[in-house]
Amino acid sequence: MMLWRIPETIKPPVTYGMAGSRGFRGWRDTMAAPGVTPVQPTSRRDFLKWGAIAGLGAAGALGGFWALWKYALNLTYPRYVPLKPWELEPGVVNYDLVRAYGYGPAELGFVNDIGDAPAESRILNVAQWYDYWPGRIVAEFGPYMSSRWGIEGVSVRWTPNIFTSNEELLQWVLEDGRTFDVMFPANYAVEALEKAGALVNLNREWIPDYVNILGRFPASWPPGFEPVRSDLTHFPSYPDSGNGYNNDIAFDLRDPAANAYAYRMPSSVYPSPRGMSHVTWDEANSLLAVPYQWMTTGIGYRTDIFDRTGIEALGWEVFELTSYSNPVSGETHPLANRKMMLDEMREVFGAALKAVGGKRQVDAGLPLTGIPRNPAPPWNGEYQWSTNETDPAKTQAAVDWARSIRDSLWGFNTPQQGPWLVNGTMYVDQARSGDVMYAIRPNSNQFLPVDFFVPLQGSSRVVDAAVIGRSCDSLWLAHEFLNYLLQPDVGADISSWNLYPTPNAWSFNLLHADPSYSYYGQYPDGSPYVWNPAEDARLYADLAFGYAGPSVLERCELQHDLDPDTTLRYETAWEDIRY
């Protein structure tokens, strides 16, 4: 669907198509450039550790919060950046005008063929977390574009743009004025960037593989999309669960009502979306962010210290304990300085809200569901507390809880959430699913005494998403990069490498169906050990193949960008608690 009408003479028909019929993996196996080898960069956890020692973490956090205040005060950079020739106002793109003024293939109706573009126009400047993709995935984008479109000289510049927190990225863009074509912020940081006017609406026609994201089965296939991939052994066709969705539990990362951060249209997140004078935003034209990876936040723990039933019953309350008596082993373990939480303000206060809200719910004689603000009686919108509370009484209760446990904690640290559990430095910590699994290494014969769960009181769910910055001049090429990352085998390769859950339903099915993504080993007693990532509920919760337990995803909320008053209250308390 086009947003604006312009003369038909500059609105040629759009066509899509893959060169050849083998699909992307077949192309890569036969067409990869000589000498391109996998790059295994140092873990983001190590990078974060040394960055924190050098003071980078604190600087990024403080600058990020100042950036947040600048957008709240309407002092952000878009006020001073001239409109692009395809913008109706800052961040509002007419994609028909991109064909008239930007670079792209002449066969798609671009007046300026990208083959004639300056070399810099074929290089994407991308900001990314450190360990979020194998280097070969990025290196192969250039050969892929050469094979598919006959365009040479395409590459991605990202290693100088490694950010260590969402706050650091916000500082770069909103405070320092750094410009990026593509960025990968978390969902609440997408909201902050959009409110600041730093993002553009995406063109769904240029991202046909967007239908691969977990959600409803498409009513019709986008032009150029290949719903059947029968060219490779073990490569399943597009997943159809028979329930109207491309997954068995009807999990939807494309629904604007449930994932409002990703669209400009929801008034609950963007009360006055820019461009209202020019266009009525709807689901077809307001897409801002394409999910890249997702995760849950929960509790990582040593299985040789804690009994699983016991620690799951405690949930977030385990951080209140100074010792733990294991009912199975009969041993008592001191916990002082053996507990740690993430060095992330929203996650710590989110856990605090869940802990205190859970106590209030139990004290009221109500079942502990972990599902926020259940509207049915007898809850009446009061229980369970949300991670996005703004009521001063509730946020103060969360601050008080965090202060009450501070003295018995080792402290707050994000990069070592997995490694310090593995080496026994910590017995329990607040952790993200992907980071703990990266440390546990279930795709090995190590069998480490570490596990992970999401507390019954509830927690958060994070979606890191790809967005295009308003500063981007290579809009078509940026969309091609997003679509490239959405191809099923590319998504499966990324998740197999970094062990974060994929939001791509076709990649998820491929991880399950293709044995090359599974690990085959032996238990210590010599019996066979098989690990399939798509069957691991620690990663995929109730989405995992074969999972039959209670829903975990229902009690995991997406965090939202909060109002300035709440942010200031949290930040003031956080600096005191953290140091």
pLDDT tens digits, one per residue of 72-106:
444 445 556 789 999 999 999 999 999 999 999 99
468 strand-pairing partners: 182
Whether residues 27 and 175 fall in one domain = yes
Decide if 56 is inside a domain: yes
Answer yes or no: do 330 and 454 share one domain: yes
Total structural domains within the chain? 2
Q: Is the pLDDT of residue 380 over 90?
A: no
Residues 417, 450: contact at Cβ < 8 Å? no
Asked whether the beta carbons of 361 and 370 are under 8 A apart, the reply is no
pLDDT in tens, 487-514: 999 999 999 999 999 999 999 999 999 9
In Å, how far are 37, 64, 212, 487, 544 from 295, measured between CA atoms? 28, 22, 18, 20, 13
Position 269 scores a pLDDT of: 86
* Secondary structure, 3-state, 368-420: CCCCCCCCCCCCCCCCCCCCCCCCHHHHHHHHHHHHHHHCCCCEECCCCCCHH
Higher pLDDT, 498 or 375: 498
The better pLDDT of the pair 82, 22 is held by 82
What integer is the mean pLDDT of 192-198?
93
Average pLDDT score over the chain:
85
- Residue 356 shares a structural domain with residue 476: no
State the helix-helix crossing angle for 141-149 and 475-485, rounded to 10 degrees.
Answer: 110
Q: Are residues 451 and 360 in the same domain?
A: yes
Instruction: Cite the DSSP H helix spans in 214-314.
Output: 308-314
How far lies 557's CA from each of 459, 461, 551, 575, in Å?
6, 5, 13, 25
Residue 220 CB coordination number (10 Å): 7
In a domain, 248, yes or no: no
Report the residue count for the chain: 579
Integer Cα distance of 411 and 371 in angstroms: 28
| Domain presence at residue 518 | no
Domain identity same for 458 and 477: no
pLDDT-derived band at 246 (thresholds 50, 70, 90) equals very high
Within-domain flag for 351 = yes
Q: Nearest to residue 110, comparing CAs of 4, 224, 8, 10?
A: 10
Token couple for 494: 């990324």
- Together in a domain, 324 and 424: yes
Tell which residue, 207, 123, 200, 152, has the closest CA to residue 474. 123
User: Could you tell me what percentage of the chain is helix, strand and coil, using 3-state DSSP and rounding each to the nearest 5?
Assistant: 40, 15, 45
pTM: 0.85
Strand pairing of 556-558 and 92-93? unpaired
Number of other CB atoms surrounding residue 494 within 10 Å: 20
- Please report the pLDDT score of residue 235 as a whole number: 86
Answer whether the bond into residue 501 is a cis peptide, omega within 30°: no
Same domain, 380 and 479: no
In the prediction, which pLDDT does 382 show? 55
Same domain, 335 and 397: yes
Residue 133 is part of which domain span?
8-200+469-485
Which of 51 and 473 is assigned the larger pLDDT? Answer: 473
Boundary residue ending a domain (485, 516, 535): 485
Three-state helix/strand/coil letters over 73-123: CCCCHHHHCCCCCCEEECCEECHHHHHHHCEECHHHCCCEEHHHCCHHHHE
Q: Are residues 456 and 562 in the same domain?
A: yes
131's tokens: 């360990």
Residues 407, 385 share a domain: yes
Whether 282 is covered by a domain: the verdict is no
Give the model's pLDDT for residue 80. Answer: 62
Which three-class secondary structure state does DSSP give residue 257? Answer: coil
Quick one: CA torsion of 134, 138, 144, 149, rounded to 10 degrees?
A: 160
Residue of higher predicted confidence among 13 and 469: 469
CA distance linking residue 481 with residue 479, whole number of Å: 5
Secondary structure of residue 360 in the 3-state scheme? helix
Q: Are 183 and 317 part of one and the same domain?
A: no
Which backbone phi and psi does 80 adopt, to 5 degrees?
-110, 0
The lowest-confidence range among 53-62, 127-136, 223-232, 461-470 is: 53-62
Q: Which residue has the higher pLDDT, 58 or 225?
A: 225
CATH number at residue 443: 3.40.190.10
Are residue 368 and residue 480 in the same domain, yes or no? no
245 within a domain of the structure (yes/no): no
Kindly report the number of other CB atoms within 10 A of residue 71's CB atom: 22
Amino acid at 544: A
Q: Is position 490 within any domain?
A: no
- C-alpha–C-alpha distance, residues 433 and 297, integer Å: 6
pLDDT above 70 coverage of the chain, percent? 84
Is a pLDDT exceeding 90 seen at residue 65?
no
Identify whether 265 is part of a domain: no
Distance of CA 234 to the CA centre of its chain: 27
- Would you state the pLDDT for residue 441? 92
For residue range 258-295, what is the model confidence (pLDDT) as tens digits? 999 999 999 888 888 888 777 889 999 999 999 999 99
What pLDDT score was predicted for residue 74?
A: 44
The SS3 call for residue 12 is coil
Contacts of 272 (CB under 8 A, 6+ apart): none
Specify the pLDDT at position 34: 30
30 or 543: which carries more pLDDT confidence? 543
**Helical axes 564-578 vs 345-363, angle rounded to 10°:** 100
